[in-house]
């Protein structure tokens, strides 16, 4: 019995997985074909040793799939590409936050402090907008990892309004001490909740983009939150 692992490209859904599996398992000398959509691999158990060219030839009739024997080889380009694809919605949103902050900084002839203030303001404004698409569903998802919402569910329902208010305050430069203290109060507990979920390796979606996108929790969200907390602490120290 031969067992071989191949990487697979070209799959987009569970239908692709089933097509590959069904096609290969019709071969007399193939015992089983285990296919993973998320990890993009094919684990083939067969009575003969199949080469990648033979597998590709078999799959020609079911779709534009390509297998290769480099699954276990480290491929930094593939790793980066998969990461960018998974977290593209968050990364694009953060790019817009930085772009708007930079434009506001230039337009109002600001300094380093004002750039950070705009950064925090646009961060809260844009992310609150995404949460407003479906507040009730956001609150449900948020309660999976935010300790405050898990204890007081209604906090999740008002959370988008809190972010909206903070965004306005930071951009206008008003109530800054209150806004920065509130930033710490809302972000530190959820950051801890995210850390604990990741530590237990629980696979749940991040609610930071509301329900518009399905993005798994990751260290990227922790970095976002801690960056906001560090800027809040900077402002609190400067004001006091």
The half-sphere exposure of 38 on its side-chain side, counting CA atoms within 13 A, is 2
Local confidence band at 119 (pLDDT 50, 70, 90 cut-offs): very high
pLDDT average, residue stretch 41-69: 84
Higher local confidence (pLDDT), 15 or 94: 94
Distance CA 66, CA 64 (A): 7
The per-residue pLDDT of the chain, averaged, comes to 89
Q: Could you tell me whether strands 66-68 and 30-36 are parallel, antiparallel, or unpaired per DSSP bridges? A: unpaired
Is pLDDT at 31 greater than 70 in this prediction?
A: yes
pLDDT at 75: 61
Distance CA 177, CA 77 (A): 44
Is pLDDT at 181 greater than 90 in this prediction?
A: yes
pLDDT at 72: 58
Is pLDDT at 147 greater than 60 in this prediction?
A: yes
């Amino acid at each position: 019995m031969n067992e071989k692992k191949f990487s697979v490209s070209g799959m987009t859904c569970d239908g692709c997985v089933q097509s590959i599996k069904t096609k290969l398992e019709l071969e007399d000398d193939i015992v089983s074909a285990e296919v993973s959509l998320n990890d993009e691999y094919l684990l083939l158990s067969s009575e003969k040793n199949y080469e990648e060219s033979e597998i590709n030839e078999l799959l020609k009739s079911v779709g534009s799939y390509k297998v290769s024997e480099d699954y276990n080889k480290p491929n930094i380009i593939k790793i980066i590409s998969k990461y960018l694809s998974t977290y593209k919605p968050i990364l694009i949103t953060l790019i817009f936050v930085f772009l708007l902050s930079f434009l506001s900084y230039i337009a109002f002839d600001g300094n380093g402090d004002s750039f950070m203030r705009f950064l925090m303001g646009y961060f809260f404004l844009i992310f609150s907008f995404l949460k407003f698409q479906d507040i009730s569903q956001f609150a449900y998802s948020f309660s999976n990892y935010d300790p405050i919402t898990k204890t007081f569910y209604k906090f999740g329902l008002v959370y988008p309004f809190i972010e909206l208010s903070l965004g306005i305050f930071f951009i206008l430069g008003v109530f800054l001490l209150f806004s920065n203290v509130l930033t710490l109060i809302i972000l530190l507990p959820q950051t801890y909740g995210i850390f604990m979920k990741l530590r237990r390796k629980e696979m749940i979606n991040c609610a930071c983009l509301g329900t518009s996108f399905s993005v798994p929790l990751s260290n990227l969200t922790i970095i976002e939150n801690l960056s906001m907390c560090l800027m809040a602490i900077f402002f609190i120290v400067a004001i006091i």
